[in-house]
Amino acid sequence: MTSPLPIDHRSPALTLRLAEEIKSIISQPWNIMEICGGQTHAIMQYGLDQLLPKKIRMIHGPGCPVCVTSLEAIENALTLANQPQVILTSFGDMLRVPGASTDLLTARSHGADIRVVYSPLEAVKIAQANPHKQVVFFAIGFETTVPAIAASIQHARRNCISNYSILPANVLVPPAMEAILDGENRLVNAFLAAGHVCAVMGFHEYLPIAEKYRCPIVVTGFEPVDLMSGILMAVSQLEEDRFEVENAYNRAVTQEGNLAAQALIKEVFEPVERKWRGIGSIPLSGLGLAAKYKDFDAVSRFRLNPTPIPESPLCLAGKVLQGLIDPPECLAFGATCTPANPLGAPMVSSEGACNAYYRYQKGS
Amino acid sequence: MDEISNHLQAFNCPVPLSQHDSILIGHGSGGILTHELIKGLFQKLLGNEFLNAGNDAAVLHAINGENLVVSTDAHIVSPLFFPGGDIGRLAVCGTVNDVAMMGARVEALTASFIIEEGFAVSDLESIVASMADACREAEVKVVAGDTKVTERGKSDGLFISTSGFGWLPSGRQIAGNLAQSGDAVIISGPVGNHGVAIVQARGNLGFTSSVQSDVAPLNGMIAGLLDAVPEVHVLRDPTRGGLATTLVEIARQSGVSIELEESQIPVDQPVRSICEMLGLDPLYMANEGKLILILPNSSADRALETLHAHKYGQGAALIGKVRENSSGKLWLRTPLGTTRVLDMLSAEMLPRIC
């Protein structure tokens, strides 16, 4: 048994010292967006926003992978899951995300064979164990989940497992950042870049973005000290009128990233246009299967062809994901939309901005 | 059903149980196979004067002035065997603990078994043996029972439903609505172990750890505690929904708010690490051998001393205070001095993706 703060990156003394330092250098209001839902969750969990000066507004970005998965992709998943010969496999928190008609958890209760896996390689094992079924993996997530998905496809190809396929819905961070910076009402002055995405991809992709939009980007992690260091570095740049890419997460991230993982991604996938829930279509912001691996694409294998679906007018998730409003500004927040009965995806996942607000700040 | 059972019974041969290694529909017929199962397995392992009497019901004897305390619980768990326990131990401890949390002396259990056709008799035997061990430890008797067999595919291996009966000394009042402003909040040991042991036993994580379920009967420890510190206001076991959900329930029932110190809440390191890896929160993971104790602050040290002296209370810790605020909210003070509200668990905990 140990204390809950076993490592240095959670040191209260250090976190508080960094907060003091931020207070001492800030001269004007700044909006800082943390891209990653894991960071949103950590900020809320540790109450870091309570330690920051009022001049800093943290905007919670679109980095919750289940939140940005389009209604069309969820409907595709439901269509597949409802076919008797299909076993649909998925990461757990995707199951409760409401689609246009229902969610996967409800479909499962009606008899669809939907299984939670922790890794896509597990889905391949299920395919091997069920040769008379078609096993589809719902491929969601940012760059972090892609290497394992690519590995699952290569593994299936090498072992001639022909009853395995994926429903491609992966998304990429840099195009989303550009879309946010290109928006008409640009609010974001600086970004905290997602540490785990950068551990895979490095941060060389961010250099032209910082330069083009004169926007500081600081790569950081998920512990209080990581986040406070990242915010301090971002505020320092803003106050000094610098716009560089800096790394506050040296212990996990290098500029070039994990080259083997990147090669694997490049071999199996290629960038495609993708629709983000609440945001819309962004060019080259998703990953589709490369020509060589097209036979693993469930969309063509099952001839899926969903029509575009309008989103609920009551749910302002799109505005939340772009930082245009805070979750409590949505009329549905906490009233018709709660974690037990979510209208929109950011209320579902613990990484979603609405869910994090609801869990940690409701009534405070 | 009875008609069918009688019909089947007419065709059953009196085959000794040992010749079947799996449960047959006939074991639920009420006929010879059922009797063999009862005599050869249930009475052999769980037998006592009440059960062996073979009547339709058992008679418990009240002592003047004591009130009867009753609780019931259905147990389904997958897998049936998990690190630190099995469904049998769980079925005994879960119900014993529910009765004991009222401050009652637990006397008897009843147990109903719903068994899927084809279930391995050897597995049933180890599960019932494990129930017998837990009963011996808790000093309770199974005084009545029932067995039904479903067709293959109509249930999932084995379900066990238990009811518990105990006697509450007159004048003793322990309940979820009695937490008072200024009270101390104590947990009897590290939280989250049972939930994590189950997640891990489901076997698809790709790693193993030393985490074991904490499933244990707590009535002995509670009896000692109430002897030493009778002024207890609330006792409750934080099972499904975990510590946080149970404390929110208590705060709402009592119309108070509760403030926890995050740094004081005991969590074993492997539990913490696995939860972090999977995006789960130990404060919401189930426990099956822990109790939450709320009592006047002036008695907290004495209570901790008593708990520490018992094998199931060695990790007991003072984790928070009841505040005079009728909001029914649970607050957590982080080691950074910041605070956040903890709500009830909304639905099934789903591991997050990265």
Dist. CA B101–CA B107, nearest whole Å: 14
DSSP B128: H
CA distance A255 to chain B (A): 21
Residue pointed to by tokens 């990461």: A91
Residue A200 CA neighbour count, 13 Å, CB half: 19
Cβ-defined contact of B352 to A349 (cutoff 8 Å)? yes
**What fold, for A27-52+173-243?**
Rossmann fold (3.40.50)
Give the minimum alpha-carbon distance from B144 to chain A in angstroms, rounded to a whole number: 34
CATH class name, domain A67-171+257-301 = alpha beta
Alpha carbon of B223 to those of A138, B19, B238, B351: distances in Å? Answer: 52, 44, 18, 38
Tallying the residues shown for chain B, one arrives at 354
**What pLDDT score was predicted for residue A318?**
81
Contact B26, B147 (CB under 8 A): no
At A1, the pLDDT band (50, 70, 90 cuts) reads very low
- pLDDT tens series, chain B, 354 aa: 344 433 433 343 334 444 678 888 888 877 788 888 888 899 999 999 888 887 788 888 887 788 999 999 999 999 999 999 999 999 999 999 999 999 999 999 999 999 999 999 999 999 999 999 999 999 999 999 999 999 999 999 999 999 999 999 988 999 999 999 999 999 999 999 999 999 888 876 777 788 999 999 999 999 999 999 999 999 999 998 999 999 999 999 999 999 999 999 999 999 999 998 888 899 999 999 999 999 999 999 999 999 999 999 999 999 999 998 888 899 999 999 999 888 887 666 665 554
CATH of B2-56+66-168, one of 3.40.190.10, 3.40.50.880, 1.20.58.1610, 3.30.1330.10: 3.30.1330.10
DSSP letter at A93 equals G
**With an 8 Å Cβ cutoff, is A92 touching chain B?**
yes
Residue recorded with tokens 């008897």:
B108
pLDDT digits (tens, 9 = 90+) for A3-58: 454 458 999 999 999 999 999 999 999 999 999 988 988 998 899 999 999 999 99
Give pLDDT, residue A362: 53
Contacts of B41 (CB under 8 A, 6+ apart): B17, B121, B124, B125, B128
Tokens of A257: 């990233």
B272 touches A: beta carbon within 8 Å: yes
Is A362 near chain B, with CB under 8 Å? Answer: yes
> Residue B319 in contact with residue B307, Cβ under 8 Å?
no
- State the nearest Cα–Cα gap between B279 and chain A, in angstroms: 8
Portions of chain B given CATH number 3.30.1330.10: 2-56+66-168
What is the C-alpha to C-alpha distance for residues A67 and A51, in angstroms, rounded to an integer? 27
Residue B335's nearest CA partner among A2, A319, A126, A269 is A2
Residues of chain B with CATH 3.90.650.10: 184-342
Any idea which residue has 């009270």 for tokens? Answer: B183
- Best of A11, A350, A364 to disrupt the B interface (most B CBs within 10 Å) is A350
DSSP state of B341: E
* DSSP three-state, residue B191: coil
- CA A78 – CA A65 distance, rounded (Å): 18
A164-168 and A217-220 beta bridge pairing = unpaired
CA proximity to A279, closest of A173, A123, A164: A173
Whole-model pTM?
Answer: 0.83
Q: What is the pLDDT of residues A260-319, one digit of tens each?
A: 999 999 999 999 999 998 788 999 999 999 999 999 999 999 999 878 888 888 889 888
Omega before B79 within 30 of 0, i.e. cis:
yes
- Nearest-by-CA chain B residue for A351: B352
Chain B residues with CB inside 8 Å of A117's CB? 204
CB within 8 Å of B163: residues ≥ 6 apart? B70, B71, B72, B73, B95, B109, B110
* Partner-chain residue, chosen from B265, B341, B353, that has the shortest CB–CB distance to A361: B341
Contact A118 B190 (CB under 8 A): no
Tell me the pLDDT tens digit for each residue of A97-148. Answer: 888 888 999 999 999 999 999 899 999 999 999 999 999 999 999 999 999 9
The answer to whether A360 and B341 are in contact (CB under 8 A) is yes
Closest chain A CA to residue B346: A340
Q: Do A4 and B262 touch (CB under 8 A)?
A: yes
B266/A117 Cβ within 8 A: no
273-312 of B, contacting A, C-beta below 8 A:
278-279
- Distance of residue B262 Cα from the nearest chain A Cα, in angstroms: 8
Name the superfamily (CATH) of residues B184-342. Answer: PurM-like C-terminal domain (3.90.650.10)
Rounded to 5°, angle at Cα B107 from B102 and B108: 110
